Amino acid sequence: MRWSKSIRGLWIGYVQKLKNLSSWTLFIPTLQIRTPIQPPGFLKNSDAVLINDYLHPWRQTGKDDIGGPCPGLNTLASRGWLPRNDIASPAQIVNAVQEGVDIGNDLAIYATYVSHLIDGNLFTEFLSIGGKAPKTRSNLPAPAIVWAEHP
């Protein structure tokens, strides 16, 4: 009987500790281990391309689109090289800057993945070229992101 009371006391203490944790902390152990998506390789055709073409018409930013501080990424999103809502995966950004601006593969991968580690969401594998967005769930707790806001 005495032993069961001590077990019950430990259990109640454990439950009290769990009540103080955020739902995010309780969610982390349920994450599944998976292989990261490999970055895209070099372009198959590295010839000069016409950026102002019928496949990538310019469209004004919509009310739900998130513009960012980088005019290059904003231009790629306005032209359709990136998703028009300004939320993309690192692979989409690498491909867009290689195809749309003709930046080399190594520099594109480096800049994109450094930005993804600093401001992206490693769980959803999305990055917003603007501010916080619900799809990227950029309001993660402190150790999950390096900067809380874009500079």
Write down the pTM of the prediction.
0.65
Strands (E), the chain: 87-88, 127-128
Q: What is the mean pLDDT of residues 43-51?
A: 69
| pLDDT in the model for residue 107 | 92
* Cα gap 124→99, rounded to integer Å: 24
Supply the DSSP string of 17-80, one letter for each residue. Answer: HHHHS-HHHHHGGGPPP-PPPPPP---S--S---SSSTTS---PPPTT----S-HHHHHHHHTT
Domain coordinates in residue numbering, the chain: 1-31, 39-144
Rg (CA), the chain: 22
Torsion, CA 2, CA 7, CA 8, CA 9, rounded to 10: 90
Residue 139 pLDDT class (50, 70, 90 cuts): low
**Is 151 a residue whose pLDDT tops 50?**
no
| pLDDT in the model for residue 61 | 78
Average pLDDT, the chain: 72
| pLDDT in the model for residue 94 | 92
Q: At what angle do helices 71-78 and 90-101 cross, to 10 degrees?
A: 90
**Is 83 a residue whose pLDDT tops 50?**
yes
